[in-house]
Amino acid sequence: MEDRFGRQINYLRISITDRCNLRCLYCMPQDGIATRPRDEILRMEEILRAAEIALQMGINKFRLTGGEPLLRKGVIPFIKSLALWPGVKDIAVTTNGVLLQQLGGQLFDAGVKRLNISLDTLDSEKFRLITRGGDFKQVWKGIEKVLEIGFQPVKLNIVALRNFNDREWVDFARLTMDYPLHVRFIELMPIGTSWEMAGDSFASCQEIKDQIEHALGELCPKPKVQGSGPAEYYTLSGAKGTIGFIHAMSNHFCADCNRLRLTADGKLRPCLHDQHEVDLRDALRTGAGDEKLRQLFVKAVALKPANHHLATGAPAAGRGMCQIGG
Ligand code: SAM
Ligand code: SF4
C-alpha cells in the first residue's frame, strides 16, 4: 500500500494487550492506566484475522507490543500461526524482558528472531525506581538468555532521561564492546504520563552522541541494522554491537514512516501522535468480509499525516504509549 505522500506501508505494530507487569514512570501512572474491559480487547483470533487482511494489503512485517505483549495468554500459538503464512517476512517483539527467561525459547521456536528489550538503567535500585518495582537481575538474565538462544538482532531500548540515566549513557555504549547488542537511545516523547516530565527530563540524541564520543572515541556510521526503522546506527572501533539513536523529537523521521498500528481494542492508528483512528473491531465482530476489512486499511493509510507536530508544541494525542502500543 502506498499513502498519499508516496510512502510504502508494509509494517503493522500490534498492541496485543494494554496490561503491563511494570509501571514505568514515563509510561504509566502509579495505579496503572484503567485498562479496557476484557470484551473491548481484541481476541487473538480477531487479531489474526486483522493480520491476514494486512498481509493481503502488502503488509509483511509485524511487531507485537503493548502493554507487555508476553503477558497475553495465547501469544505463542498466535505467533506460530502468523509465522506459517507464506509472505510473512518478519515477526518481532518489543518487551520489557521480565518474562524472557521463561518464554525466550518458545518465542524463538515460534518464529520470532528479533527482539527489542526496554532497559533504561543498569543499576538495580534505579531500575526498581523507574519501573516502580521491577527486578533488574531478572531482565538482565533474560537478555543473556536470548543472546544465548541466538536471537538476532537483540536491541536494547533506552529512553534518555536527564537526571536519571545521563551518567550511564557511556556505560550503555560500552556494553556493545562485550555483547552483540544494539543499544538504542530514544528521545523522550511528551505522550501519556510523560507529558509533565518531558520538559525537565528530555535529552537530545545529539547530546548523548557527543558524550559517548568524548568518553570512548569516534562513532563510525553503520549501515542499517535489520528492521532498524527510524534509528541511525554507529559503532565503536572493535565493538560487537552497535549504538543507535532515535531522534523522536529533534529530527523526526516521518518521511520514512512505513507503519500502521493496531491498538489492543481494535483501532487502526495511522500515526502514533495523531488522534485519528479507524475502528476495525466492529467490522471484525459483525462478520465483515475481506473486501470491507481491506477498505478500512485503505482508509487508515489515507489518514496518515505527512508528519507529526510534537516538536513544535502541538498537544500530544490522548492515549499513552502503553495503550497505543509503542
Ligand atoms: N512493555 C513493552 C516494553 O516496555 O518494551 C512494550 C510496550 S512499551 C510502551 C514500548 C516502548 O515505548 C518502550 O521501549 C518504552 O520505553 C517506550 N516508551 C514508552 N513511553 C515513552 C515515551 N514517553 N517516550 C519515548 N519512549 C517511550
Ligand atoms: Fe509497561 Fe513497557 Fe510502559 Fe514500562 S514502557 S510501563 S514496561 S508498557
Please, which residues have CB within 8 angstroms of residue 216's CB and are 6 or more apart in sequence?
170, 173, 174, 236
CATH classification for the domain delimited by 11-324, as one of 3.50.50.60, 3.40.50.9100, 3.20.20.70, 3.40.50.720: 3.20.20.70
Nearest ligand to residue 28 Cα: 2
Place of cell 481484541: 42
Q: Which of 21, 35, 68, 132 to mutate to test the pocket of ligand 2 (most atoms within 8 A of CB)?
A: 68
CA distance 302 to 217: 45
What's the 225 CA to ligand 1 centre distance in angstroms?
20
Which residues sit with their C-beta closer than 6 Å to ligand 2?
A: 20, 22-24, 27-28, 66-68, 96, 118, 322
What per-residue confidence (pLDDT) applies to 314? 47
Q: Using alpha carbons, select from 217, 220, 167, 209 the residue that is nearest to residue 187.
A: 209
Cell numbers of 126, please? Answer: 534505579
Place of cell 473486501: 291
What per-residue confidence (pLDDT) applies to 191? 81
CA distance 54 to 261: 11
Distances from the Cα of 41 to the Cαs of 19, 269, 282, in angstroms?
A: 11, 15, 11
What per-residue confidence (pLDDT) applies to 31? 77
Place of cell 510473512: 88
Q: Give the atom of ligand 2 at the shortest distance from the alpha carbon of 20.
A: 1
What per-residue confidence (pLDDT) applies to 28? 87
Helix (H, G, I), strand (E, B) or coil at 100: helix
Pocket lining: 186 vs ligand 1, CB cutoff 6 Å: yes
- Evaluated on CA atoms 49, 50, 51, 54, the torsion sign reads positive
DSSP secondary structure code for residue 222 in this structure: -
CA distance 247 to 239: 23
What per-residue confidence (pLDDT) applies to 317? 46
What per-residue confidence (pLDDT) applies to 114? 96
Any idea where the domains of the chain sit in the sequence?
11-324
CA distance 120 to 49: 35
Q: Which of 35, 70, 186 to mutate to test the pocket of ligand 1 (most atoms within 8 A of CB)?
A: 186
The rounded radius of gyration (Å) of the Cα atoms in the chain is: 19
Neighbours of 195 (CB within 10 A): 14
Whether omega before 221 lies within 30 degrees of 0, making that bond cis, reads no
Per-residue pLDDT of the chain (326 residues; tens, 9 = 90+): 999 989 999 999 999 999 999 999 999 887 767 778 889 999 999 999 999 999 999 999 999 999 999 999 999 999 999 999 999 999 999 999 999 999 999 999 999 999 999 999 999 999 999 999 999 999 999 999 999 999 999 999 999 999 999 999 999 999 999 999 999 999 998 887 776 676 789 999 999 999 999 999 999 998 776 655 678 999 999 999 999 999 887 656 788 889 999 999 999 999 887 889 999 999 999 999 999 999 999 999 999 988 876 655 544 546 777 777 76
Residue type at 4 in one-letter notation:
R
- Evaluated on CA atoms 165, 251, 193, 280, the torsion sign reads negative
